[in-house]
Amino acid sequence: MKNHIKAIIIAILFVFAVFLQASAQKLIMDYSISEKHFVDTIKIKMWKGAIIIPVEIDGETKNMMFDTGANMGFWIGTEEAWMVPSGNSTNTVDSQNQKKKSSIMTIPSMKMGNITIKDYPIVVSDGLSDFTCGIIDGAIGFDLAVKGISFKFDTQDSLMIVTDRKGFFNKEERGHQKVKYKHYSKIDPKVWVQFPFIRAKMDFDSGYIGGWFCFPQQTLDIWAKQDPKIKQQLDAMTVNRDTTFMTAAGLFGYSNETIVGGEIVVPEITIGDLVFKNVCVKTTSPKRLIGSAVLEHTSLIIDSPKKSFVFLPHDGNHEITVNNKDKITGMNFKPAADDDTLGAVKIVVRKGTEAYKKGLRTGDYLISVDGNPISCLCDYVLKKHQGKTEHFVFRSPEGEIKEADF
């Protein structure tokens, strides 16, 4: 898996965010953990910074993403025989603001390392199955941290230490600035982030897979209108902005919208004592998000009793310079309609970007990559890239063949 995970990072063309918010707080806390005063170390997997935890359910290993943006678990696919209805439902909203009243199912027994979680609540939906391509089966939410479990995610060596012992990570936390989080009426953790133009509260959402930072364009416009200095700074940082057709995936499916948005390259963004330089910030999200790309460069301690994050940079350097070349090509992919005979995967292109300048347009079909035919989106997602420039072949709806290297 490491080869194609690395490849997706290098040739990132589709980024989706997942977060699940539920209104029934008491319901989602109604589960039990088999052990007390425990410490366990578990081998995990990484996908574009996203944390994937192997768990045993009904005698089979399932890959569950740890999603700080979800306040209960979710399952990608249809209901399984081992799921048990809880008799409860909750109002949910995904990252594309698609709302749905969902029945709460439970996982009767989920073994995570040497601990067993009983009656863990989940919402079931197959809206992301076209994009996750079997890499993950579902997700575990931030409710585990709210319940008092602390974690260390060693994202460099792909290890997770999980414990309910207070103060267990005190020694490792020394010398590092703690980033306090709050979750108010929802469970998703919010932290303060310093931008050159403003200090803002952001959701840390590890389910925003492969993403760095997102802001709603509307929020930036309001700040720019209120303060001429902010407007001047934002104008200088903006590399692309237009009204364009976009597509993005959420828990209940993907949405197609014509929106105003763009990209701003921010010279410096600070979270605690961690500084990210030269970051391309997207402005097409309905939420203020910090995504999983942060964890490609730093390990993370979630200290539940202290309600704090501690970031541990892989190389010990608290300044991380981001290479955004692959983040601003301007291409997103989405599945074509089932009855579309012209191709299986369509491209969405932002005006003025590298892809646009090479002649690609929204609605073109992806035909092949490096000579490998593309019959579905997963053909590309699961392709073993080698970290080099790739040759793409597209076909317009009118039949024109277009070729480009990225």
Q: Is residue 249 domain-shared with residue 170, that is, in the same domain? A: yes
E strands along 176-273, which residues?
179-180, 190-194, 199-204, 213-216, 238-250, 253-271
- Rg from Cα positions in the chain: 21
Q: Are residues 339 and 319 in the same domain?
A: no
Tokens of residue 401, six digits = 């063949």
Domain that holds residue 155: 1-328
Same domain, 320 and 337: no
Select from 35, 65, 63, 47 the least CA-distant residue to 149. 35
Q: Do 312 and 355 fall into the same domain? A: no
Q: What are phi and psi of 13, to 5 degrees?
A: -125, -15
Contacts of residue 14, Cβ cutoff 8 Å, sequence gap at least 6: 131, 249, 332, 333, 334, 377, 381
Predicted confidence (pLDDT) per residue in 248-303, tens digit: 666 666 665 666 677 889 999 999 999 999 988 888 777 899 999 999 999 999 99
| Same domain for 198 and 175 | yes
| 357 and 314 in a common domain | no
Same domain, 282 and 380: no
- Given pLDDT bands bounded at 50, 70 and 90, which one contains residue 333? confident
81-96 average pLDDT score: 81
Q: What is the pLDDT of residues 171-218, one digit of tens each?
A: 999 999 999 998 655 556 899 999 999 999 999 999 888 888 988 888
If one counts every other C-beta atom within 10 angstroms of the C-beta of residue 122, the result is 25
Full DSSP string of 312-324: EETTS-SEEE---
Secondary structure of residue 218 in the 3-state scheme: helix
Are 83 and 224 contained in the same domain?
A: yes
Q: What's residue 95's pLDDT?
A: 61
User: Is residue 226 classed as helix, strand or coil in its secondary structure?
Assistant: helix
